[in-house]
Every structure is written in C-alpha cells, then in structure tokens.
Amino acid sequence: MTVAGEPVRVRLSVNGRAEVGLAEPRTTLAEFLREELGLTGTHVGCEQGVCGACTVVVDGAAVRGCLMFAVQADGRAVETVEGLAAEGGMHPLQRAFWDAQALQCGFCTPGLLMTALVALRERPEWTREALRERLSGNLCRCTGYSTVLDAVLAAGRAGAGDGGDDGSAGAGAPASGEAGPR
Ligand code: FES
Ligand code: FES
C-alpha cells in the first residue's frame, strides 16, 4: 500500500536506458533526473515554467521538466541533453552551437538544444522568423539569440533532426513555444 506523500518507484526510459528511482509525488521530473538519476545536464532556473532551462523530451515532445511530476513520467521515454552526444562525440546540433558560438554561460543551452532538437525533427527547414517564434519559450540572458538562431538553422541544413552525419538522434514529435527570443 502506498501512503500519501511517501516516495514511490518510478520506472522510465532515459536516453534509451531503463531507469528506476524513488520520487515523492511532489518531485518534479527535473528534480528526479538531477537528484535521483544524477543527470545534472538538465538545468533548473525559474521552477515555474517560464525560462525553459529544464526542457527535456518526453515521448517525443519538448516539455518543462519543472512542470511535470516524476510520477507522471512513469513508463515513458525521456530524452535529456546527456543523450545527445553519441559515444563522446558532439551531436550535430551541439556542433552547430559550438561553431556559431551560440552560448556564453551555457545555463540555457541544454533546454535550448532539446527544444531545437524537437523542432528539427518536426521539420529541418525553418525560416528565421518561424524558428525565432518556436524557440521563444527558452530564455537566454547572454547571447541575444542571434547566434542561437544561426546555429539551429545551420544544424537543420546539416540534417541534425535526423541525427545528422552521426545518426545519433531518433524520431520525435512537436512542442509549443511561448514568449522569448527577439
Ligand atoms: S526551470 Fe522550468 S521553465 Fe524555468
Ligand atoms: S548562454 Fe547564458 S543564459 Fe543563455
């Protein structure tokens, strides 16, 4: 029998690996990934669904890890930034961020990468304006967004949504954007 508020077992797939951990009903997915599974690549900023730093992919959709409870992810497939790089190499999207110098402090970067990954899986070619809108739910206090857009557009041309040259990414599904990059 489960007592209200007590930790429960959560089983899920993370970056293709079966994982199991304990989570209180109030534990967010972001917290669970970071503290229970040790996957600290997912960052936590506002904790209220505004900044996008905690964005991960759940069953193909980009979601706010701070707005989803870990228990809601039970039985689902989660992708985090740690799953992007295959065997130590950079994913084409990460490579594009590197080449375009699309990060400074890097706090927003994992969330931006996961949002962009889903967008590029949905379609590789974006206009700059449409992409700006699509990434608008991920806030960055450093870059001014221009190089981020450069990077994601370049990554799309390089086939990053399909995994690019290294074939490291799989299929996914769309997500919605909010306010942000200008
Ligand atoms: S920490 Fe989740 S949206 Fe800011
Ligand atoms: S690179 Fe610093 S917040 Fe985006």
Question: What pLDDT, on the 0 to 100 scale, is given for residue 170?
Answer: 37
Pocket of ligand 2 contains residue 105 by CB under 6 Å? yes
Quote the DSSP letter at residue 164.
G
Q: Walk me through the domains of the chain, giving residue ranges and CATH numbers.
A: 8-83 (3.10.20.30), 86-166 (1.10.150.120)
Pocket of ligand 1 contains residue 178 by CB under 6 Å? no
Question: What pLDDT, on the 0 to 100 scale, is given for residue 168?
Answer: 39
* DSSP H helical ranges for the chain: 29-31, 92-100, 109-122, 128-134, 146-157
CA atoms of 7 and 9, how far apart (whole Å)? 7
Q: Count of CB atoms within 10 A of residue 58's CB?
A: 20
If we measure between CA atoms, which residue out of 23, 70, 9, 18 comes closest to residue 42? 70
Question: What pLDDT, on the 0 to 100 scale, is given for residue 2?
Answer: 64
Is 100 a residue whose pLDDT tops 60? yes
pLDDT-wise least confident of 3-7, 76-80, 139-143: 3-7
Q: Which atom of ligand 2 is nearest to the CA of 141?
A: 3
Question: What pLDDT, on the 0 to 100 scale, is given for residue 163?
Answer: 59
Pocket of ligand 2 contains residue 104 by CB under 6 Å? yes
What spacing in Å lies between the alpha carbon of 166 and ligand 1's midpoint? 30
| pLDDT tier at 175, thresholds 50, 70, 90 | very low
Is residue 159 within 8 A of residue 92, CB to CB? The reply is yes
User: Is the pLDDT higher at 161 or at 10?
Assistant: 10
If we measure between CA atoms, which residue out of 90, 85, 86, 65 comes closest to residue 76? 65
CB-based contacts of 126, cutoff 8 Å, min separation 6: 119, 120, 134, 152, 153, 156
| pLDDT tier at 75, thresholds 50, 70, 90 | very high
Model confidence, pTM = 0.88
What spacing in Å lies between the alpha carbon of 45 and ligand 1's midpoint? 5
| pLDDT tier at 86, thresholds 50, 70, 90 | confident
Question: What pLDDT, on the 0 to 100 scale, is given for residue 180?
Answer: 40
